[in-house]
Amino acid sequence: MKIILRQDYEHLGKIGDVLNVKSGFARNFLIPQGIAVEATIKNMRSMEDEQKRNARRSQKDQRQAELFAQELEKISITATVAVGEEDRVFGSVTSQTIAELLNKKGYEIDKRKVILDEPIKALGVYTVPIKLHSEVEAKIRVWVVKE
Q: Are 146 and 87 in contact (CB under 8 A)?
A: yes
Same domain, 49 and 84: no
Same domain, 142 and 118: yes
Same domain, 78 and 132: yes
pTM for the full predicted model: 0.69
Whichever domain contains 59, its CATH number is 3.40.5.10
Last residue of a domain, one of 42, 64, 86: 64
Sign of CA dihedral 91, 93, 96, 102: positive
What residues make up the domain containing 111? 69-146
First to last CA, the chain: 64
Condensed to tens digits (0 to 9), the pLDDT of residues 38-87 reads 999 999 998 889 889 988 998 999 999 999 999 999 989 999 999 988 88
3-state DSSP assignment of residue 73: coil
Q: How many domains does the chain have?
A: 2
Q: Are 72 and 130 in contact (CB under 8 A)?
A: yes
